[in-house]
Amino acid sequence: MPYNRREFIKTSVALIAAAKMATPLKSIAAVAAKAKHSGILESTIRYVKSTCAHCVNFCGINVKMENDVIRAIYPDPERAPFYNVGICPKGVSGVFNTYNPYRIKKPLKRSNPKKGLDQDPGWVEISWEEAFETITGKLKAIRQDDPRKLIWQHGHGKYLIGDKFPKAFAKAFGTPNLVHRTTTCEAARHVADELTWGYHGFLPDIEHCNLLLNFGGNYFEAEQFARWLDHATTDAKERGMKIVVIEPRLSSTASKADEWIPIRPGKDVVLILGLARLLIKQNTIDEEFLLSTTNATALVAGDETLLKDDNGQLLVWDELTQSAKPFSDNVKPALRGSYLVDGKAYVTAFQHFSNSIEEITPAYVAEEAGVPEKKVFWLAEELAKQVKIGATVVMDGHKLRYRPVAIHTFRGLSAKEFGVQNWRAGLVLQMLLGSIDAVGGINLHSVYKKPQYFDASKAEYPPSRVDLQESVFFPHATHNVAQQVAQTVMDPKHYGLEYIPEMQIFYATNRPFSTSDSQKQFASLKKTYNVVIELVMTETAQMADIVLPDLTYLESWHLSPSRYTPRTKHTAIRQPLTNAYQIEHDAYSILWQLSKRLGILDDYVKNVNKQWKLKKHPLQTGQDYSAEQAVEQIWLEQTKGKDFAYAKEHGFIGKHLSVEKTYLSGVDKKFKGAGKPKMNFYAEQLVHTLANVKQQKKQHSLKMIDLDRYQLALSPLPKKEHGFPTPHREAKAFPFYLITYKRMYRNQSGNTALNPILNALGPDVQENFVLINQKSADQLSIKTGEQVVVETRVGKVQGKAKVIEGIRPDTLAISYHYGQQSLAFPDSAKQGIWINSVLENYSDVVSGMESFNDSKCRLIKV
């Protein structure tokens, strides 16, 4: 391109304007001339906004296209005020999530009837027509017989096309069996939220927080809100926020913290209750919050139920009239004490709690949780000092409660046998501090959106769903029970299932690989006819009868999920940049095809409208919709008519939330004051659920229901026993605790293992290691790089040791998403240890949550 007169003038003007720059004219000319003569072929560059879908952060990205080739992926700077400032290495190297020679390009059918991780399926390429015909044939037969025999399972698929399309299909087909992966993720945390305040999801108000207690949430390596928490906490730390990370391993998050407290695995609840005890003793608790917003003043009977009047209203002890009354404006409820009502003894829920944690002294915490006494005292002091009980702050003319202390967790407290109780403890502690929905505390999402979460579970039997959701087995499992499907399929009669599942469709999930005790999962896949929709030949795909290719997030349309922050939210789309292997269908069009061929398309469309709440911009029956067209309708509905061209140009539209929306539409609105329901300090519904479980066990002679186990798990208050999961109690001969964690460079799905950039970020990224403490390693004469065997009660795995200082001496840690097994993967993508295969699984019976961090093991030098 000639350095022409126009450019000369432009440059001169720029120079004069920026005189301080003082760059000689000839330098620019020299640079331009060099560029001109370097003989570069011209290419067209354009930038397209979209959303990353490697993980559930859904970062805004700006994709650089060079002549229709995806050249690079950068963060979208416009998204920064609303969510992510940058992107992680997975997002950066997303080019190779799409450009990947290992992609499945055509539908495949197995010719080897034997299924197994060691069995070559003998794939035969078939046409899309044959694939659809075969699948539809099977579906038709099942639908005529009993549509419940179809199970739809997805994981990441929920974030590729959303779970609403599959839900609509399942509804139209007539199967209740749609299963998502949440119990492999953080279901226990959700259920604890639901039992306590009627919906789920929260975020620490980082901007105003001064003390953040993080129980194992690792937002510098993974985590659901990582790409906001990472920069928000880094900025807040410079501002003066103190961060205390409590977890057995020195994660990246712990490395950047002010304090790292290496707690013994599983014992977090003991520490939390120990802190609660100290706060109560020192009387540094927010009494006003407890009295006005929670049911801490409710009266607990001997049978653990709460005292109610004939209308079902909770009664409190009125200090003015010295009698039991419903909480109204004239009543002054007692927080502490025991009282006689009609000759029966009652104690306030707060008092009950206080009594129950009397033994959890700092010495006890030190003994059981491995946290030194001094540290426990210090932590309680810090909490008391920083929380500023009684303080208010004015923002935008609103006077708001100011409690700049937040307790956060992701899987640290929840991926356990007692996950629900562990996070319940976290919530109870924050009720004591009064930091819920306060400025600088934790901010709850859609408080009391579903009041039914305050009801007891019917504990249904026989179960209607193959995953036993909300049945007697997992009475409050409101987020499916992903790992249970395999176990029910192996023995439906054992669980009282009235039908035998026949067919499973897996969409973008490598679930069997990612659960605990995963070998059992693969055994079950031999029992059903499996269709897998996937990008690459994962372990799950290897067990399929038919595999269908899918489009990647860079090749497809979607109304993207998006993450909010306490002060912002946004609506985003994903748009295709390419179709690297000219694949004709993705899950969206597959569902459309199947619905059409089954003759349920109209029903499907009606359900799609229902699921997406499309009232003003519904899809019409009697016509086909491409993915782009469907996304346009959803965009119009969600943005109240914002032009779709805007979506294609900017990728998203963001909104700043008002102070009212952030701080005054939560617990203060729904629970505070007389005449309103109360936040569950005491989760009474669990008592009634237990009664229903007992009733069902008796009525149906359910031998497999261990009532002791249910009694402990369904406790209305967390207790110290919740720090002792089954393996800790039983596996005494196994000296080490075994925990897992996630690294930044991999996902479970398997396609990240094939990404050459993600495998080139350093010599330590292509495999994982057995992390062992230096002192423990010395005692066993183990050095970094040596082969070791880790043995649990489930099985053995072998791999390389890595000796570090940053882990408890009594604990080993092995990350997951390594040790791929697929026969179709090259060796370079199969390095490392498949830790899931030996993790003990004792699911949380309340929520169905899988346990990932409760195992015990021994370590043997090879």
Partner 1 sequence: MAKLVRVIDMERCMGCRACIAACHMENHYTPGSPWNEMVEYENGTYPDVRTIFGTMACMHCEDAPCQKICDEINVHAISKNEYGVVMVDYDKCTGCGYCAPVCPYGVPQLNKQAPQSLYPEQETPYEAIPLAQRHPLHQKKNNVMEKCTFCWHKLEKAIIAGEPELIGKKPEYTPSCDLVCPVNARLFGDIDQQDSEVKQYIGKKKAAQLKKESGTNPQVYYVVRGGDF
Partner 2 sequence: MKWLGFILLSCVLNSAFAEQQKTVDVRPTKEIKTMNLARIAEQIRNGEIDVGKDYSTNFKTGRFHIIHADKLLIDCNNCHYGKKYKADYQLMGKHKPMPDKMPGRLQRSVCLGCHAEGGIATHLYGRSAEW
Q: Which residues bind partner 2 (CB under 8 A)?
A: 762-764
Q: How far is the CB of 736 from partner 2 (least distance, A)?
A: 27
Q: Which is nearer to partner 2, 216 or 832 (CB)?
A: 832
What's CA 330's distance to the chain center, in Å?
Answer: 43
35 binding partner 1? (CB under 8 A): yes
69 binding partner 1? (CB under 8 A): yes
Pick what 342 binds: partner 1, partner 2, none; C-beta below 5 to 8 Å, kind-dependent: none
Distance between CA 211 and CA 406 in Å, rounded?
6
Q: Quick check: 796 and 838 in contact, CB under 8 A?
A: yes
337 binding partner 1? (CB under 8 A): no
Q: Quick check: 741 and 815 in contact, CB under 8 A?
A: yes
Q: Which is nearer to partner 2, 676 or 743 (CB)?
A: 743
Sequence-ordered list of residues with C-beta below 8 angstroms from that of 269, at least 6 positions apart, any chain: 413, 418, 421, 422, 425, 718, 719, 720, 722, 723
**Do strands 392-395 and 398-401 pair parallel, antiparallel, or not at all (unpaired)?**
antiparallel
Interface residue with partner 1, options 2, 4, 5, 38 (CB under 8 A): 38
Which range in 48-56, 95-103, 294-302, 780-788 contacts partner 1 by CB under 8 A? 95-103
Pick what 278 binds: partner 2, partner 1, none; C-beta below 5 to 8 Å, kind-dependent: none
Q: Which is nearer to partner 2, 127 or 784 (CB)?
A: 784
Both structure tokens of 241: 């926020």
758 binding partner 1? (CB under 8 A): yes
Distance between CA 635 and CA 574 in Å, rounded?
11
Pick what 21 binds: partner 1, partner 2, none; C-beta below 5 to 8 Å, kind-dependent: partner 1
Distance between CA 715 and CA 726 in Å, rounded?
16
Q: Which is nearer to partner 1, 581 or 625 (CB)?
A: 581
Q: How far is the CB of 801 from partner 1 (least distance, A)?
A: 15
Pick what 291 binds: partner 1, partner 2, none; C-beta below 5 to 8 Å, kind-dependent: none
Q: Which is nearer to partner 2, 675 or 762 (CB)?
A: 762
Q: How far is the CB of 101 from partner 1 (least distance, A)?
A: 4
Interface residue with partner 1, options 116, 134, 147, 221 (CB under 8 A): 221
27 binding partner 1? (CB under 8 A): yes
Interface residue with partner 1, options 230, 368, 586, 854 (CB under 8 A): 230
Q: Which is nearer to partner 2, 24 or 762 (CB)?
A: 762
Q: How far is the CB of 256 from partner 1 (least distance, A)?
A: 6
29: exposed, middle or buried (C-beta count within 10 Å: 0-12, 13-18, 19+)?
A: middle
Both structure tokens of 196: 């306590």
Q: Which is nearer to partner 1, 579 or 629 (CB)?
A: 579
Which range in 33-41, 123-131, 781-789, 790-798 contacts partner 1 by CB under 8 A? 33-41
Q: Which is nearer to partner 2, 372 or 785 (CB)?
A: 785
Nearest CA-CA partner of 213 in 140, 276, 287, 147: 276
Q: How far is the CB of 763 from partner 2 (least distance, A)?
A: 5
20 binding partner 1? (CB under 8 A): yes
Span between the terminal Cα atoms of the chain, in Å: 65
Q: How far is the CB of 862 from partner 2 (least distance, A)?
A: 21
Q: How far is the CB of 745 from partner 1 (least distance, A)?
A: 7
Edge to edge, the sheet with strand 69-75 lists 45-51, 60-66, 69-75
Give me the residues paired with residue 159 across strands: none
Distance between CA 347 and CA 338 in Å, rounded?
4
Q: Quick check: 562 and 654 in contact, CB under 8 A?
A: no
Let me know how long the chain is: 862
> Dihedral through CA 827, CA 831, CA 837, CA 840, nearest 10?
180
* DSSP string covering 562-602: ---BTTEEEEEEE-----TT-----HHHHHHHHHHHHT-HH
775 binding partner 1? (CB under 8 A): yes
101 binding partner 1? (CB under 8 A): yes
Residues 158-217 that bind partner 1 (CB under 8 A): none
* DSSP string covering 218-232: -TTT--TTHHHHHHH
Both structure tokens of 433: 């501090």
